Structure 1
Amino acid sequence: MERKEFIKSLTIALLTPTLFLAACSDDKKKGDQNSNVNSQTFTCPMHPQVVQDKMGTCPVCGMDLVPFEKNSADAALHLDESQRALANVTTMAVGLNGFNTYKQLNGRLVVNPDKTEYISSRVAGRLDRLYVRQTGEKISKGQPLYQIYSEQLASLQQEYLLALTQAAQFPGDKTFSQILKSSRQKLSLYGQSEGQIKALQNSKKTNPNITYMAPQNGTVAELSVTEGQYVAEGSPIMRLEGYQSLWVEADIYPSELGSIKEGQQVKVVIPGWEDQPQLVTIKFMNPALQADGQLIQLRGAMPNPNNQWQPGLQANVFVPTQSKGDVLNLPVDAVIRSGKGAHVWIEKEQGKFEPQIVKTGMESFDTVEIKEGLKAGDQVVVTGAYLLYSEYILKKGKDPMASSKKCKTTIK
């Protein structure tokens, strides 16, 4: 019995130090963990990769290290009055307002087909002379274009001279008068001008070499023949384009058709002539989608005084759009955008700023619509938002989008 009591006492005596040391070790580990959680880290403002657990200088550039709150669970930034003034941070209470803006479309200037004239041969024959030999040449109405040798036209001239003689011999005969009128009309239909018919009447001599004149002013855009070539009746000779009026074309997506309609006025600005905006009325909207781009084309005519613009120039087309009702809107600089979305900074309390994810809508040059994420009365940072964004990343080492609240409030 005494032997058993002795062994029991000895065992307790041997195990007691071991248990005490294990307990001390656990307490030390817990203390070390708490110390790591609450320890302050420091980093270099110019070299964020430098992180230390004590104050000092950057080994790269020698700058003083600043506190680094990477382990902080607080999602807000705190600024005192001096820091706020130095960063030029100002806020405004967001509210509901009407929103008018322009939707910008990429457009282009093209030739107006209404001002295009296709010149074709009125008779079969040989082109003895071309008075126009190159494209891009400007043509005036009545200017000679080409001279053609045509036996067919010479026969019509002889027929007219014969009818003219018969009508002169029998002035009261209606039949000869009708024949004269018919032969004169044939010459006119084959492209002979009143002056050329009158010259034929005075000279009483046929001339198979006939010169054709330009029917309008324009620029030679295409030349389809060469000098000495034989052409058939109706063969294309050249194409004249008038640039005193141009078409403005732009492409829109089918989903945008609700905001644009025929008869609506749009503003057209040509790069380089921003001081001369033009108001253009939409005259046509293609009812079919373009097969290559799934886009719908709209078109309007624009005057081109003194031909100062050329077809092929790019144009910015601004279509006025208006919100259906009052919406929340902010200055464009208040919204920070990144590949992950957009967010703003809200002042929750005096000097306490938190990031808030938002969803944007319509946008103009200086204002953006906020569709989700805010409510009327929120104090939103409108200047200094980018500085807050940089300060947050520098101090906390993470993206504000990761800790900000997702959009839950929908603005109607």
Structure 2
Amino acid sequence: MKKLHQFGMLILMIALLVSCNSKNEEKHADHKYQQSIYYSCSMDPQIKEENPGKCPICHMELTPIQKDNGAYNEITLSDQQIKLGNITMQKSSASEQSSQENFTGVLTLNQSNVKSISARATGRIEKLYFKTEGASIKKGQAVYQIYSEDIAIAKQDYISAYKQMEIPGDFGKNAKSMMQAAKQKLSFYGLSNAQIEAIKRGKEVSPYTTFYSNYSGTVAEITATEGSYVMEGAPVLKIGNLSTLWLETQVNVNYAKQLRVGQTALISFVDFPSKEITAKVSFINPEINASSRLLLIQMEVPNTNLALKPGMQAIVKLTKSNTTGIFIPADAVIRDQNGSSIWVEKSKGVFKNIKVTLGTESNGMVELISDLDLEAKIVITGAYAVNSEFEFRKGNDPMAGMKM
């Protein structure tokens, strides 16, 4: 009887032990399940809670989210999510494309056709005959009048030598050479032969001298003012020839790699929508703008009827043909402050975010110039759906952990 009682106690203890282990396993399984999900807000995905409840920001009910334990820049999607997100992929194979890029440019003066009229001697500008930029000027027109003691002294030397030539003997002969030297000095100051000859006929020597234009064109810039004191060589005004203009624009440095001097571009103008002309690239700046990563190029634009004016805006259409590379839809690229990236299918249902460098972009397609596995399947539609799901689950940017 005693043995039977002991055996019963043993059975009871075993039953209690099994029951406790079962409860512990259930608790452990329940804890493991609880740890595999978290609760987040669809409006504020940065909110992560271990227990259900309401969002502390917008007070909406939190949604249970299955944790994704993959790499920091990877996400796993179900077949249903891929279908609902319209997520499709294509292999990153190389292809040839002809691309046309449009750039905005501005017409400027052709600096090779700009002439400068400068002060020929130190003095004071008494009168400016042109006071408005853009005015037409013809060769031979008066530009400015200057009061100059240096020119006045040279005039006096010239007229004195001229009068002394009438004295007989050696004195008169010496006066001839003095007169020739004074004439050369006046020519150096910019006086024409007609102005020099007029000195002989004058009753007195004037300290004022008028200078005339040697060019025809348009007044591009006026740098002096009436009453101002100028030094010899100081610019008074600039004259531009508008028969040709420069069109300046800036292009992406990746696109500029294939440009060349002499390449033809199609130009249209904002002020003349129906007007299109062709121009050739005349200059490619060898220096890249460090902040914008853009490159300045110039084209010489004919302006036979002078309808085009400096400052007008133009659209430059540049074509780059038969470019070989990896081209994908521009919408397949995720762009933010950290750079550009794409999503690729690592394995069935598993997507990985990869940082990329972009090349030319045209007609809705963009070139990838990063090294990629040609067998990699790039997400070409639904890339932003993948990205949004990633941020919703992990609450951060998939590029946040990449080295920039």
TM-score (norm 2): 0.60
CA distance change for structure 1 residues 400 and 28 in 2, over 3 Å: closer, same or farther? farther
What are the residue-to-residue correspondences of 1:378-389 with 2, within 5 Å? 379-389=377-387
1:98 and 2:93 equivalent? no
Report the counterpart of residue 357 of structure 2 in structure 1. 360
Q: Give a deviation string over 1:370-390, Cα, whole Å, max 9, x none.
A: 3334425x5543232212321
**CA–CA distance in 2 between the matches of 1:50 and 1:251?**
45
Q: Unpaired segments of 5 or more residues in structure 1?
A: 1-5, 167-176, 407-412
Report the counterpart of residue 78 of structure 1 in structure 2. 78
Deviations 1:144-190 (A, max 9, x none): 31143614224435656998x99xxxxxxxxxx99999987765554
Q: Tell me the residue number matched to 1:156.
A: 158
Deviation, structure 1 residue 327: 2.4
Alpha-carbon deviation of 1:18? 7.4
3-state secondary structure, aligned to 1:46: coil
- After TM superposition, list the pairs within 5 Å mapping 1:278-357 onto structure 2: 279=279, 281-283=281-283, 300=298, 302-303=300-301, 308-310=309-311, 326-337=324-335, 339=338, 342-346=341-345, 352=349, 354-357=351-354
Indicate the residue corresponding to 2:389 in structure 1. 391
Q: Deviations over 1:54-90 (max 9, x none)?
A: 7x98797676765411156694212439x83x64545
How far residue 268 of structure 1 moved from its aligned partner, in angstroms, is: 10
Structure 2: runs of 5 or more not aligned: 168-175
User: Retained in 2: the 8 A contact 1:357–1:373?
Assistant: no
The DSSP-based 3-state class of the residue aligned with 2:354 is strand
Equivalents in 1 of 2:315, 2:20: separation in Å? 74
Report if the CA contact (8 A) 1:44-1:64 is conserved: yes
Structural RMSD (CA): 5.9
Maintained 8 Å contact 1:246/1:301: yes
**Structure 1 range deviating more: 241-250 or 215-224:** 241-250
> Do the aligned partners of 1:106 and 1:251 also contact (CA within 8 Å) in 2?
no
Contact 2:92 2:326 in 1 (8 A): yes
Partner AA of 1:152 in structure 2: A
User: Is 1:45 paired with 2:46?
Assistant: no
Matched, 1:226 2:223: no
Q: Deviations 1:186-224 (Å, cap 9, x if unpaired)?
A: 6555423365467668x5756524311233342344228
Q: Secondary structure at the match of 1:372?
A: coil
Cα offset for 1:97? Answer: 0.7
For 1:98 and 1:147, locate their aligned partners in 2 and report how far apart those are by CA, in whole Å. Answer: 66
- Paired AA for residue 80 in structure 2: D
Distance in 2 (CA, whole Å) between partners of 1:140 and 1:278 is 29
212 and 100 in structure 1: CA distance in 2 versus 1, 3 angstrom threshold = same
Provide the C-alpha distance between the structure 2 equivalents of 1:360 and 1:284, rounded to a whole number of angstroms: 23
Cα distance in 2, alignment partners of residues 153 and 137 from structure 1:
35
Change (3 A) 1:298 1:336: closer
2:357 match: secondary structure: strand
SS of 1:223's equivalent in the other structure is: coil
Which deviates more, 208-217 or 129-138? 129-138
Number of the residue aligned with 1:119? 118
Distance in 1 between residues matched to 2:147 and 2:120, nearest whole Å: 9
Pair 242,57 (structure 1): closer, same or farther in 2 beyond 3 Å: same
- Show the counterpart of 1:170: none
2:100–2:317 Cα contact (<8 Å) kept: yes
Partner of 1:36: 31
Aligned to 1:215: 214
The size of the alignment, in residue pairs, is 366
Identity %: 16
Q: Is the 8 A contact 2:252 2:295 kept in 1?
A: yes
State the 1:36 CA deviation. Answer: 3.0
Contact 2:116-2:235 at 8 Å conserved across structures: no
**Alpha-carbon shift at residue 329 of structure 1 (Å):** 1.9
How much does 1:103 deviate?
Answer: 9.4
Residue 334 of structure 1 and its aligned partner are, at CA, apart by: 0.7
Q: C-alpha deviations, 1:242-267, integer Å up to 9, x for none?
A: 373458597999xx899378735486
Local SS of the residue matching 2:214: coil
CA distance in 2, matches of 1:336, 1:243: 48
Secondary structure at the aligned position of 2:116 is classed as strand
Post-superposition Cα deviations, 1:83-128, rounded to whole Å, max 9, x if no partner, equal: 83x6454544543212566899999968826514141225x6x547
